[in-house]
Amino acid sequence: MMQLEIDPAAKADIEKFETQLARYLAGELDEDVFRVFRLNNGIYGQRQGGHHQMVRVKIPYGAMTPEQLDACAHIADTYSRGWGHITTRQNIQFHFVDLEIVPQVMREMASVGLTSREACGDTVRNIQGCHLAGACPFEALDITPWAEAAYRHFLRHAYAQRLPRKFKINFSGCATDCGQAMFNDVGVIGVNQPRPDGTVEAGFRIFIAGGLGANPHPAQALEEFTAREDLLPTLEACLRVFDHYGNRDNKLRARMKWLVDTMGIDELRARIQKERKFLLASTTWRGGIPDLVLEHGDAPAGVSTSVTPTPMGQGVPVMVRRSGGIGRWDDANVVRGAAKGTVSAYAYAPLGDITSDQFRALASIQRELGASVRVTNRQNLVFRDLTEEQLPVLYERLEAIGMAEPGAELARDVVACPGADTCNLAVTQSRGLAAEIGRQLEEAGLADVGGVRVNISGCTNSCGQHHIADIGFSGAERRAHGKPAPGYTMLLGGRVGNAEIEFGQRATRLPAKAAATATVRVVQRFTDERGAGETFTQWLDRSGGAGAVGTTLKDLDVFPTPDENPDFYVDYGETGPYVAEVGESECAT
């Protein structure tokens, strides 16, 4: 594994962590103080307690090098459970890492340019970006260098450390919004604005104060158009206003979305614009086009005149027309349309899990093909900068490691948070339900259905982003026949795209062991009833909405007695009776 010279700032972070860890282990540092320090360094406690830790590695806008993939393999084998997990925010997590060896893990990450700094805690979290940026046929500009510039600007930034609550920034290169800008504290979407002379100016439309969680809020536009030279000052102005006015007394109402409720969107906009106006006086002002953008350029990929662009975004009906391995994979997982003649292709990672052997193989494939690789917010990977001639080779290599299934944007691509496997807040085993939904969809012949996204969270906090899925599940404790049992609330009709967002509406409640059957029923009905080109949302509206479809599932909301079927009182992957164990929150998402 090739290593880089560790950045001095990263080296200082690691040395400080070692010092404070030693103080904590010696009983010289209070638990609460060390917890905040630990979280700001991306080290998160697990529900197993003791010194078991989750290490969250930031992957800005999802971009990874072969050396970084190799490092993930080594970390997984040496310090964790032999595999890593891609999150919905383009991080990679390693679980069951002993607290005492965290500094060594941090060194190995830093040796390949990775960090866990500010991956957790009340900080500016990982900067997300569309995984096809620079290769998307519809983008207004390539947001890659802009996301990198924002990442560098806010990493270790004085205002990014002790915020009222976490702060999330997402980038999308066009209104299709594959980067999911519409439910974040700040969402940035590339747009074109017409000039008086008939030409167009590329810039941004910035959305603010969005969020999921138990009380989802849609992001709202800050202004009609933000010029490229004003982007970084605008992002910092948003952060400063949040720092000044965010609720520091009540964590449950501390996110930026609550400022819309307390001061109104017009006042929030005015304060951000005022902050930006006077930011020139600050030493942190970074106006103008960042050097990194000037160096690398942000011109859009464009569309080839000889290739029909692959449709993108939620609700787009991906059609698997061919039989056989590579044909099915090509139909579902390959994206075409860049003017520079390249194509992109997904590697499917069920539940976002990647073994150490798969990490190494992915690194080898990336080197062999000279491709770029990004992890996606649906917990897969995408190989970019490919040629048509390389696709058979890529398919063969992915098939050999079990990652060539036509998965991305098909019904089998179920997204789930870690759930009660490791998270303190989860009340259900969301990963187990995701696996069961996938199994039943395969059994029913529905796994290849396109245009249906299924997302699962093990609690109401929406780490699995259940609010914005076509079919979403939120874990909940149920009681039946005097006993606790795992259950879910089913939502239908969530979506994000076209610079718009709709949160799913409640359809019904279900026992955990009936949720997969309910999913199969809904997907089957959608498949049977949809018209040509009809999206899930359009079908749902025509069918009377979430409530009406939910009434057809009411027969599934029944718990047999524990004697009739004890399985309903045991969660997926568990061996004993269900117990909803909720620990202290450490700001999991």
DSSP notation for 11-71: HHHHHHHHHHHHHHHTT-S-HHHHHHHHHHTTEEE-TT-TTEEEEEEE-GGGEE-HHHHHH
- With residues binned 3-state (H G I as helix, E B as strand, rest as coil), the percentages for the chain, rounded to 5, are 40, 20, 40
Protein fold of 138-296 = Sulfite Reductase Hemoprotein; domain 1 (3.30.413)
Note the pLDDT of residue 588: 41
Q: What are phi and psi of 497, to 5 degrees?
A: 160, 160
Q: What are the Cα distances from residue 378, in Å, to 134, 208, 278, 285, 341?
A: 19, 22, 39, 34, 25
Give the contacts of 504 (CB within 8 A, at least 6 positions apart).
466, 467, 468, 469, 470, 471, 472, 491, 492, 493, 494, 546
Tens place of pLDDT per residue across the chain (589 aa): 556 689 999 999 999 999 999 999 999 999 999 999 999 999 999 887 778 999 999 999 999 999 999 999 999 999 999 999 999 999 999 999 999 999 999 999 999 999 999 999 999 999 999 999 999 989 999 999 999 999 999 999 999 999 999 999 999 999 999 999 999 999 999 999 999 999 999 999 999 999 999 899 999 999 999 999 999 999 999 999 999 999 999 999 999 999 999 999 999 999 999 999 999 999 999 889 999 999 999 999 988 888 888 888 887 777 777 777 899 999 999 999 888 788 999 999 999 999 999 999 999 999 999 999 999 999 999 999 999 999 999 999 999 999 999 987 799 999 999 998 888 889 999 999 999 999 999 999 999 999 999 999 999 999 999 999 999 999 999 999 999 999 999 999 999 998 899 999 999 999 999 999 999 999 999 999 999 889 999 999 999 999 999 999 999 999 999 999 999 999 999 988 988 776 666 654 4
CA–chain centroid gap for 430, Å, is 16
Q: What are the Cα distances from residue 332, in Å, to 416, 451, 486?
A: 21, 11, 34
- Which residue blocks in 175-308 are alpha helix, DSSP H? 231-245, 257-263, 265-277, 291-296
Which helix (H) or strand (E) is 362 found in, with range? Answer: helix 356-369
Instruction: Report how far residue 460's alpha carbon sits from residue 434's, in angstroms, rounded to the nearest whole number.
Output: 16
Give the contacts of 481 (CB within 8 A, at least 6 positions apart).
559, 561, 562
Note the pLDDT of residue 425: 86
Note the pLDDT of residue 582: 67
Instruction: Report how far residue 210's alpha carbon sits from residue 183's, in angstroms, rounded to the nearest whole number.
Output: 4
| CATH 3.30.413.10 segments of the chain | 138-296, 415-569
Question: On the CB side of 322, how many CA atoms lie within 13 Å of its CA?
Answer: 11
Protein fold of 325-400 = Sulfite Reductase Hemoprotein; domain 2 (3.90.480)
Report whether CATH 3.30.413.10 matches the domain 415-569.
Answer: yes
Query: What tokens does 297 get?
Result: 């350029």
Report whether CATH 3.90.480.20 matches the domain 8-110.
Answer: yes
Note the pLDDT of residue 589: 41
Q: Which of 126, 148, 135 is nearest to 290 (CA)?
A: 148
| CATH 3.90.480.20 segments of the chain | 8-110
Instruction: Report how far residue 329's alpha carbon sits from residue 345's, in angstroms, rounded to the nearest whole number.
Output: 9
Note the pLDDT of residue 583: 60
Note the pLDDT of residue 3: 62
